[in-house]
Amino acid sequence: MKHISDPDHTINQRLHKLYPPKIAELAVNDMIDLIFKYKHRIISKEYHLSQKDVILITYGDQVSHHHEASLQTLKTFMDKHLAKLINSIHILPFYLSSSDNGFSVVNYSVVDHHMGSWREIETISAEYRLMLDGVINHVSQYSDWFKAFLGCDSYFKDFFIEVDPKIDLSEVVRPRSSPLLSDFVDCEGKIHHIWTTFSRDQVDLNYKNNRVLSNVLDALFYYIEKGAILIRFDAIAFIWKEIGTKCVHLPQTHELIQLMREILHEVAPEVIIITETNVPHRENISYFGSGDDEAQMVYNFALPPLLVHSMLQSNTKTLTSWAKTLTLPSDKVCFFNFTASHDGIGLRPVKDILSDDEVDMLVQSIEDHGGLVSYRAEANGSQSPYELNCSYIDALTHPDENDDIRIKRMLVAQGSALVMPGVPGIYFHSLVGARNYHYGVRSTGLNRAINREKFNIDWLENELAIEGSLAKTIFDKYKHLISIRINEKAFSPFAAFRFYKSDERLFVVERISNDAKELILAIHNFSNEKVSCDIPESISFPLQDLLMAHKVINSHQITLEPYQMMWLKGKINGPLS
């Protein structure tokens, strides 16, 4: 086996692509030291994705109880309600932070004491597969690293990106409308113009400095030591900067991700890298790399806005046409499917899928539903809608519509995401049917707070105990869908898939188990009308409707009630085409 210091070792080669020879050699030695350090501290575990993998997306302080660490309260809630259904949990940044709900990290290795400690994290990881955030594009302006930089500590020289404000940066792709450069004064009174992609409180790291890479990898290894199996690379598309380019999706960015994956896998080959790149779909899926060298999972960012668009139009033509283009470069990678998250519903992912008029209609609908819209700066100085800020259930329904419609639309959207090829991620708020949180917006001034409400556990438990309430109805029906999904081999993340063009009010997905012995035809009615659907001739009868207590279907044509779903299980009639 080749040693990392060998010139033909992949890690060595990647480091030499990113750095000048002398710096690359120093970086090689740093990587050897890191790997040796954690080889003796991390016990590698075998881990393979299957249909049983469902990931809850939640804040560490999502639920709270008086005088109890919120991470402990969260685990208690999961143990009581979700333990046999959801095996994985993505805990959004619980590290010491100064803003942005955890994404302005002050210290990568310190847990916010309001949530608990690493003891609570390790307790959770003992029973649930743990997904943690690698917030590695930037750190807080109050971090020890940045304070040392402003304190003129030579080790931290060039840890951050300083740019002469006279340089033309208009071509840089902006995800926000805030200034790209922020001014800071060091211990000697010198002004530094520092690159801040997302906000003044989020200063970008400079990966052209090999010490940045070493320190970041040390933090990621520490997360793995504490139980992380999945690591989400936050805002990774912007991580490498080159003046004179758009500073997004650069070749060095992909090279850096591939390098970090290889280094982490030297110690923990089971770790799964998930890239978060809220960008147009074609750019997003580039992070699969060749299918075995970059991200193992990529956020399916186009799915959330397309589901909302389809529901509001009662028409799935665009959704189906897009879905039919989905391909994967290998059987080692898959999509991470979700409908809602701590962020808004991104619009950039559908830039080449929905027309400008359709986006405008979507923006108008969200505002009519009580939601908000966030904008980003364009190169020409204009602003364009960047994301829709709205709880997912309110995105799908107007406030004047009744809860019966609200529940049905929400479940059709969530059911559609559950049958998509890949692994489902379920945002806590969607699971309990949380509505727009306008008080949060007023109190923080942040649009994204509209879908980030935190709950007192006693209040939430009471809501989930009230028969017929919105929260309990969504919660129970959602859990029923999950209970079916995790027991069907055809829903494996790597199982074959096919999308059918049918009546444009229907979204029809076929999933075929890896052994080709079972299939599920999942049909979703996105309209408030009865719709007929023909069963493809390639499918044998009888079929069992998994959502209707295994009701048997023998007819070549079926009719779905308004907003009805059918997950029909059967066998393949003849060889696969």
Q: Give the active site residues.
A: 234
Rounded distance, CA 145 to CA 133, Å?
19
Q: Is the dihedral of CA 3, 7, 10, 14 positive or negative?
A: positive
3-state secondary structure of 300: coil
Non-local (6+) Cβ contacts of 146 within 8 A are 139, 140, 156, 159, 160, 203
Q: How many of the other CB atoms lie within 10 Å of CB of 135?
A: 26
3-state secondary structure of 202: strand
3-state secondary structure of 110: strand
Phi, psi (rounded to 5 degrees) for 32? -60, -45
Apex 309 CA angle, 303 and 312, nearest 5: 140
Angle 403-418/470-485 helices, nearest 10 degrees? 20
Which pair of structure tokens corresponds to residue 206?
Answer: 């400079």
Between the CA of residue 380 and those of 172, 174, 196, 376, 384, what are the distances in Å?
11, 11, 19, 12, 11
- Token pair 């007023």 in the structure block, residue: 442
Rounded distance, CA 297 to CA 299, Å?
7
What per-residue string of b and e applies to 93-109 under the rule 16 or more CB within 10 Å gives b? bbbbbbbbbbbbbbbbe
- Token pair 């709270």 in the structure block, residue: 64
Rounded distance, CA 22 to CA 311, Å?
57
CB 186 within 8 A of CB 192: yes
Apex 535 CA angle, 534 and 537, nearest 5: 115
Closest CA to 389 of 443, 433, 440: 440
Question: Residue 205: beta bridge partners?
Answer: 160
Rounded distance, CA 413 to CA 426, Å?
12
Between the CA of residue 212 and those of 65, 107, 205, 240, what are the distances in Å?
38, 14, 7, 12
